[in-house]
Amino acid sequence: MGSEQEQRRHRVEAPPPQPFIRSLEYSMKETLFPDDPFRQFKDQSPTRKLVLALKYFFPILEWAPLYNLTLLKSDLIAGVTIASLAIPQGISYAKLANLPPILGLYSSFIPPLVYAVMGSSRDLAVGTVAVASLLTAAMLGKEVDAEKEPKLYLHLAFTATFFAGLLEAALGLFRLGFIVDMLSHATIVGFMGGAATVVSLQQLKGIFGLRHFTDATDVVSVMRSVFSQTRQWRWESGLLGCCFLFFLLITKYFSKKRPKFFWVAAMAPLTSVILGSLLVYLTHAERHGVQVIGNLKKGLNPPSLSDLVFTSPYMSTAFKTGMITGVIALAEGIAVGRSFAMFKNYNIDGNKEMIAFGTMNIIGSLTSCYLTTGPFSRSAVNFNAGCKTAVSNIVMAIAVMFTLLFLTPLFHYTPLVVLSSIIISAMLGLIDYEAAFHLWNVDKFDFLVCMAAYLGVVFGSVEIGLVLAVAISLLRLLLFVSRPRTFVLGNIPNTMIYRNTEQYPYSTSVPGLLILQIDAPIYFANSSYLRERIGRWIDEEEDRLKTTGGNSLQYIILDMTAVGNIDTSGISMMEEVHKIIDRRGLKLALANPKGEVMKKLTKSKFVDKMGEEWIFMTVGEAVEACGFMLHTFKDHEPWNNA
Q: Is 519 helix (H, G, I), strand (E, B) or coil?
A: coil
Instruction: Give the pLDDT mean for 598-608.
Output: 90
Integer Cα distance of 385 and 375 in angstroms: 16
Query: Cβ contacts of residue 148 below 8 Å, gap of 6+?
Result: none
For residue 34, say if its preceding peptide bond is cis, omega within 30 degrees of 0.
Answer: no
> 3-state secondary structure string, 107-172?
CCCHHHHHHHHHCCCCCCCCECCHHHHHHHHHHHHCCCCCCCCHHHHHHHHHHHHHHHHHHHHHHH
Contacts of 522 (CB under 8 A, 6+ apart): 530, 563, 565, 566, 567, 569, 570, 573, 574
Please tell me the predicted confidence (pLDDT) of residue 37: 58
Segment 51-77 mean pLDDT: 88
The identity of residue 46, as a single letter, is P
CB 138 within 8 A of CB 461: yes
- The b-or-e profile of 407-428 (16+ CB within 10 A means b, else e) is ebeebebbbbbbbbbbbbbbbe
**pLDDT, tens digit, 9 for 90 and up, residues 92-132:** 899 889 999 999 999 999 999 999 999 989 899 999 998 88
Is the Cα dihedral 292, 297, 300, 305 positive or negative?
A: negative
Residue 168: per-residue pLDDT: 93
d(CA 148, CA 313): 18
The confidence band for 261, taking pLDDT boundaries of 50, 70 and 90, is: confident
Mean pLDDT of 284-290: 76
Q: Read off the amino acid at residue 563.
A: V
Domain ranges of the chain: 68-477, 484-641
Name the least confident of 417-421, 528-532, 574-578.
417-421
For residue 400, what pLDDT is reported?
94
- 178-193 pLDDT, tens digit per residue, is 666 667 788 888 888 8
Name the pLDDT band for 636 (thresholds 50, 70, 90).
Answer: very low
> Looking at residue 295, what DSSP letter applies?
-
Indicate if the pLDDT at residue 2 is higher than 60: no
Provide the residue type at 201 as one letter: L
Amino acid 3: pLDDT: 46
Q: Are 630 and 512 within 8 A, CB to CB?
A: yes
Amino acid 359: pLDDT? 95
Give the per-residue pLDDT at 39.
Answer: 60
Name the β-bridge partners of 615: 590
CB-based burial label for 445 (10 Å; 0-12, 13-18, 19+): middle
Q: For the sheet with 486-491, list strands across it.
A: 498-500, 486-491, 513-518, 555-559, 587-591, 615-616
Q: What are 458-490's pLDDT values in tens digits?
A: 898 877 887 887 788 788 888 888 888 898 999
Percent of the chain with pLDDT over 70: 90
Would the pLDDT of 38 be above 60?
no
The DSSP output letter for 215 is S
Indicate if the pLDDT at residue 29 is higher than 60: no
How high is the mean pLDDT of the chain?
Answer: 85
Q: Is the pLDDT at 234 greater than 90, yes or no? A: no
Quick check: 4 pLDDT over 60? no
Report whether 523 contacts 569 (CB < 8 A): yes
Q: What is the greatest pairwise CA distance in the chain?
A: 102
Q: For residue 438, give the 3-state DSSP assignment.
A: helix
Tell me if residue 429 falls in helix, strand or coil. coil
Give residue 36's pLDDT band: very low, low, confident or very high (50, 70, 90).
low
486 Ramachandran zone, left/alpha/beta (phi>0; psi -120 to 50): beta
Summarised one tens digit per residue, pLDDT across range 502-517 is: 999 999 888 889 999 9
Q: Can you spell out the DSSP letters for 355-414?
A: HHHHHHHHHHHTTT----B--HHHHHHHHHTT--STHHHHHHHHHHHHIIIIIGGGGTT-
What pLDDT was estimated at residue 20?
61
d(CA 363, CA 157): 14
d(CA 243, CA 192): 26
**pLDDT bracket for residue 17 (50, 70, 90):** low
> Which are the contacts of 381, defined by CB distance < 8 A and separation ≥ 6?
78, 81, 82, 85, 125, 262, 265, 266
Please state the CATH superfamily assignment of the domain spanning residues 484-641 in this structure. STAS domain (3.30.750.24)
Are 590 and 616 within 8 A, CB to CB? yes
Average pLDDT over residues 448-460: 88
- The structure's pTM equals 0.77
Q: Does 225 score more than 80 pLDDT?
A: yes
Report how many helices (DSSP H) and strands (DSSP E) the chain contains, helices first.
Answer: 28, 6
Res. 152: pLDDT tops 90: yes
Confidence of residue 163 (pLDDT cuts 50, 70, 90): very high
